[in-house]
Amino acid sequence: MKTIRSVSELRDALREHRRAGHRIGLVPTMGAFHEGHLSLMRRAREQSDVVVVSLFVNPAQFNEATDLDAYPHDEARDAALADELGVDFLFAPPAGEVYPPGFATKVVISGITETLEGEHRGRAHFDGVTTVVAKLFNMVGPDVAYFGQKDAQQARIVKQLVRDLDMPLRIEVCETVRERDGLAMSSRNVLLSAEERHRAAALNRALEAIDRGYASGSRDPAELIRQARAELEAAGIEPDYLELVSPATLAPLAEVNGEALALVAARVGKTRLIDNHRIGSDAGPRAPATQHRH
Ligand code: PAF
């Protein structure tokens, strides 16, 4: 695996592959790899001739300087993991390569960016995501880019970006990978104390309460959410949001008929976590622990 720092070096490395018609897969990341990232890389490896993993902790999408400072970072460990999985190129540019002096462009999507994470983290969060993702797509020119279902709103927004700007690539959304107790894997999990880590599993339990309510015939979002909220309360967790929305519009549902997305965000101690389950879809039965997917 080769680590690349500049856009020109990246273009040089990919030119021959593009000319030969090789299929290029991109896994955009902010590093601190966990099994969720690795599952995206494995999928990319299966489906592509050339796998590029980008590693860039994008300052533009952090609404709190303390969150950016605390974000875990270990490039040597990440590079070793990516290399083991057969990734071809680790694109890890410095901030000045992505945002050179005089940088003045923003990619802004309206509507679906303004609710849920957009409402709680502020407008700038998704503006930062869409801007950097558009740049990464332009830099790499992938045929397919891989995103995790854990960031369901982000995945929905990236699909909108690609559709609205006629970007010539496919977005593949891969299932959430979970710890044994159901906690969705996240780079932020390492920031939890042992006691917080234990309580954090309540996020998935809350979503499971919605699954159970739905399976037993309840279609009333308020009732389903009440059951889920009880799980969070028992763990001493007050959510930023706990909502049932349309997967297409991300608007709250008056009734759960057909596909829905149950989303939760909460701080456990100082660490903010998010998770979601698809409801009423063909998400299938839950897979076994540690490869537990939705
Ligand atoms: O999901 C992430 O890690 C980031 O939001 C992304 C897509 C790499 C953009 O910085």
Local structure of residue 242 (DSSP, 8 states):
E
Q: What pLDDT, on the 0 to 100 scale, is given for residue 287?
A: 42
CB of 250 within 6 A of ligand 1: the answer is: no
99: tokens are 């945002």
Interacting residues of 46 by C-beta distance below 8 A, sequence separation 6+: none
Question: Could you tell me the domains of the chain?
Answer: 2-174 (3.40.50.620), 187-280 (3.30.1300.10)
Q: Please answer whether residues 185 and 177 qualify as being in contact, where contact means their C-beta atoms are separated by less than 8 angstroms.
A: yes
Asked if residue 82 lies in contact with residue 33, where contact means CB atoms within 8 angstroms, the answer is yes
pLDDT at 159: 98
Residues known to be catalytic: 37
For 18-35, what is each residue's pLDDT tens digit? 999 999 999 999 999 999
| 91: enclosing H helix or E strand | strand 89-91
Amino acid at 196: E
**How much is the pLDDT for 281?**
74
- Strand ranges, E, within 140-288: 144-148, 170-174, 239-245, 260-268, 271-279
Query: What is the per-residue pLDDT across 165-222, written as a single tens digit (0 to 9) for each?
Result: 999 999 999 999 999 999 999 999 999 999 999 999 999 999 999 999 999 999 999 9
What contacts 24+ positions apart, CB below 8 Å, involve 183-187?
A: 184/36, 184/150, 184/273, 184/274, 184/275, 185/34, 185/35, 185/36, 185/150, 186/34, 186/36, 186/150, 186/273, 186/274, 187/30, 187/31, 187/32, 187/33, 187/34, 187/71, 187/72
Centre a 10 Å sphere on the Cβ of residue 11 and count the other Cβ atoms it contains. 14
* Tokens 């020119």, residue located: 141
What does the pLDDT read at residue 224?
Answer: 98
pTM of the model: 0.95
* Beta carbons of 262 and 276 less than 8 angstroms apart: yes
Q: Could you tell me the two tokens for 170?
A: 């496919």
Q: How far is the CA of 42 from the centre of ligand 1 (A)?
A: 18
Distance from the alpha carbon of residue 132 to the mean position of ligand 1, in angstroms: 8
Task: Say if ligand 1 is within 6 A of residue 28 CB.
Answer: yes
CA distance 128 to 105: 10
Report residue 51 as tokens.
């796998």
CA dihedral sign of residues 150, 153, 154, 155 = positive
Cβ of residue 48 lying under 6 Å from some atom of ligand 1? no
| pLDDT attached to residue 282 | 57
**Which residues in the chain show pLDDT less than 70?**
282-294
Cβ contact 268:200 at 8 Å: yes
